[in-house]
Structure 1
């Protein structure tokens, strides 16, 4: 079978990569190095036309299957890496068959959990990673996706204001169903529990785990967080006819978690004056969608929440409470957000994405104002943040120098 690339490759140079060479032996000039985790497959990162692609060597059957699953997840707007193409029919120069390759687009500003945990891990950072992973699993399950191998290693994390957003990386063991059964969800969570317990033990053995963290108790926290979130999103609630404010409170709680409610199913409980209410949750991204609609900024959920809070504060400070929201958003973009991001020197803009930079500037301003006893102003805060914080941060967009001839993880 001749060499064949199937998918939606946007860069014609992809086909010119050395597909007749085993991935582990690719010349260094084709490769870039990025933070990586543990894997059973060889993965390499290639930069073409300013874009970085992750290439995983895997059998043809599983490469095609994973490509289709990642495409389905993308169609369902579920946080996951973007599939690009599958390369089949690979042969070495002497005619020996080689495994196929799955190409995905590298998720900018994302990190595997081991890169997030560089140095001794603090308990609060670990908890934020767990929260992000619990939200990801719930979103997958709401869309009928059974992961089959949920773990920190198979997840990428992006900074999202003070928290993290999680993205699925490895869909090799996944299955997509119209609806998941209770048994399927329970099995997925059991696997996650075992995998995360093992990962925590590995961190402990390497001296990367804070002494106060119990690996088993930590793994159990993921299960508890998942169950609480699933219950909040899906459980039926019984209310009296006169207690409709409880329905409004339920919707507000769901919105605060970042989920929109498409409709409410209401039915009367037989023989009583009570109503049974069950929300139909659309998906996460309530604040993302509002900010995108108002400003065109496409950011993570918690970043969107923080930016919207600043927009609302701007409205009050400028006496624009009765002005149209879209007009206020346009002024906030022009007078606050864009000047702040534009003040960052060009050579430092690869440190963090713009929304995260803005969030951290706001935090820095708050701390400076607390110390000074008065508001120091945004311009002063930006200057101080650049000089005292940003210059010392690692570059999360750029390449991190590591040896490229070591097997990398499934993390694109």
Structure 2
């Protein structure tokens, strides 16, 4: 390793020195490299093990690496979904003294996949739309903080499952810039047009390789990001006039924004001279409404749609328990729901299957599976029974979406049909609570 190696890192990790920085990234061996699915990049990107975790390493110029490192750190402080920057490795030289490219090191986002790993001939057209919708939501969040991306694409994004939808994370920020005073409409439209063109190209490339469902129209799907983005942006920023006799519409507007996952930091209202109408202007709109509420009540760190789904179950539990036990504080019941409902479902997953999905996503899918089982069997299926049936017939057949080795970029996930589910598939629980009825069974 060259003696003049220079490492820039907010959290200095001595294990960074264990990687072979005196070798070009393309020559790293299987001893250092982890095979994970990745998107298309103009730079060489490889994954490596680092102190029990997986990192992504991109070779680029020192200037670009330092700039992107700083930009990603800034976006993290602004709470924008993006990969976590770990270090910049500069002044690399080979064993022969030849200069090597600088490297940007970021933490691999567990349970995330690039778009090419989510597309295959077996996936439905709706999946393409959900990915583009997620990217539209990410672009809105970036524009809210004044960030011009400059290279919006599916390739520069990672996706994590989010209760039937997807959550999008920015991966590549080297072309981006934060603009003082926010983005002009022209700059936003420029990003949006880049997104439409790039997505169309990426989907057409998949179609040319026979990796796209024939029902998917690449141009139409790419165009959907424009309508989705504009609809969300309009909802967040448009003024609304309501008659003073219908002031309940003010609360309705706030609830509509909350349903989209946003909180209002300030609401400006103006009345007409005659006092006949009120103009509502939302100000300082912050994303993560459901995420923040769930985390404050239970400590669970979930994606926005996952949090909304979990909160529905939590609120149902609290309401039911308050009817049966008047006077019990809602926060106490939220902690009880975490221990008696959520934690038990997640803990039921065998250790060897815990790389399949995140805990909140598992809980969401168990709730969905419970509904399907109840419909099929024409009776109320307990949460415990649904949990073990889901693990046995569904989760066990899912691919790992954590950082695991040798994950193919196209793979279908066999799902056992509900008609094939064995009766009495509930496994034995802990001896201490084997006879304890599920709380829903007591309602």
Instruction: Choose which of 208, 211, 215 in structure 1 pairs with 2:214.
Output: 211
Change (3 A) 1:320 1:102: farther
C-alpha displacement at 1:282, in angstroms? Answer: 3.1
Which residue of structure 1 aligns with residue 300 of structure 2?
A: 297
CA RMSD of aligned residues (A): 1.7
* 3-state SS of paired residue (1:158): strand
Q: How many residues of Structure 1 are paired with residues of Structure 2 in the alignment?
A: 403
Which residue of structure 1 aligns with residue 358 of structure 2?
A: 353
Which residue of structure 2 aligns with residue 41 of structure 1?
A: 43
Query: C-alpha separation between the residues in 2 aligned to 1:237 and 1:270?
Result: 17
Query: C-alpha separation between the residues in 2 aligned to 1:95 and 1:153?
Result: 34
Alignment of 1:88 with 2:93, yes or no, is no
Which residue of structure 1 aligns with residue 32 of structure 2?
A: 30
Change (3 A) 1:45 1:112: same
Which residue of structure 2 aligns with residue 408 of structure 1?
A: none
Alignment of 1:278 with 2:286, yes or no, is no
Query: C-alpha separation between the residues in 2 aligned to 1:108 and 1:187?
Result: 31
Alignment of 1:99 with 2:101, yes or no, is yes
C-alpha displacement at 1:121, in angstroms? Answer: 3.1
Query: C-alpha separation between the residues in 1 aligned to 2:31 and 2:147?
Result: 38
Query: C-alpha separation between the residues in 2 aligned to 1:321 and 1:400?
Result: 51
Which residue of structure 2 aligns with residue 184 of structure 1?
A: 187
The answer to whether the 8 Å contact 1:120/1:208 transfers is no
Instruction: Choose which of 248, 253, 258 in structure 2 pairs with 1:250.
Output: 253
Runs of 4+ in structure 1 off by over 6 angstroms are: none
Which residue of structure 2 aligns with residue 261 of structure 1?
A: 264
* 3-state SS of paired residue (1:93): coil
C-alpha displacement at 1:398, in angstroms? Answer: 3.6
Alignment of 1:64 with 2:66, yes or no, is yes
Query: C-alpha separation between the residues in 2 aligned to 1:64 and 1:232?
Result: 36
The answer to whether the 8 Å contact 1:11/1:48 transfers is no
Query: C-alpha separation between the residues in 1 aligned to 2:365 and 2:146?
Result: 36
Q: Which is bigger in relative contact order (C-alpha 8 A, separation at least 6)?
A: 1
The answer to whether the 8 Å contact 1:5/1:15 transfers is no
C-alpha displacement at 1:321, in angstroms? Answer: 7.0
Which residue of structure 2 aligns with residue 230 of structure 1?
A: 233
C-alpha displacement at 1:317, in angstroms? Answer: 3.5
* 3-state SS of paired residue (2:31): helix
Alignment of 1:383 with 2:388, yes or no, is yes
C-alpha displacement at 1:236, in angstroms? Answer: 1.3
TM-score by length of 1: 0.94
- Of 81-90 and 7-16, more deviation after overlay is shown by 7-16
Query: C-alpha separation between the residues in 1 aligned to 2:327 and 2:312?
Result: 17
Encode CA deviations 1:4-53: one digit per residue, 9 max, x unaligned: 00122452110231111111111221111111121111111111221111
Which residue of structure 1 aligns with residue 339 of structure 2?
A: 334
Query: C-alpha separation between the residues in 1 aligned to 2:306 and 2:325?
Result: 23
Query: C-alpha separation between the residues in 1 aligned to 2:223 and 2:325?
Result: 47
Which residue of structure 2 aligns with residue 221 of structure 1?
A: 224
Encode CA deviations 1:83-136: one digit per residue, 9 max, x unaligned: 111111111111111111001111110000111124433111112111111110
The answer to whether the 8 Å contact 1:351/1:395 transfers is yes
Change (3 A) 1:321 1:233: farther
C-alpha displacement at 1:316, in angstroms? Answer: 3.4
Structure 2 unaligned residues grouped into runs of 5+: 409-443
Encode CA deviations 1:226-245: one digit per residue, 9 max, x unaligned: 00000000111122333321
C-alpha displacement at 1:269, in angstroms? Answer: 4.7
- Of 259-268 and 179-188, more deviation after overlay is shown by 259-268
TM-score by length of 2: 0.88
Alignment of 1:370 with 2:375, yes or no, is yes
Encode CA deviations 1:258-308: one digit per residue, 9 max, x unaligned: 000111112345677433221114321100000000001111011111111
- Of 332-341 and 263-272, more deviation after overlay is shown by 263-272
Instruction: Choose which of 75, 78, 81 in structure 1 pairs with 2:77.
Output: 75
Instruction: Choose which of 315, 326, 330 in structure 1 pairs with 2:318.
Output: 315
Query: C-alpha separation between the residues in 2 aligned to 1:74 and 1:363?
Result: 33
The answer to whether the 8 Å contact 2:80/2:142 transfers is yes
The answer to whether the 8 Å contact 1:259/1:281 transfers is no
Change (3 A) 1:24 1:321: farther
* 3-state SS of paired residue (1:264): strand
Encode CA deviations 1:240-261: one digit per residue, 9 max, x unaligned: 3333211111111000000001
Query: C-alpha separation between the residues in 1 aligned to 2:155 and 2:327?
Result: 48
Query: C-alpha separation between the residues in 2 aligned to 1:11 and 1:28?
Result: 22
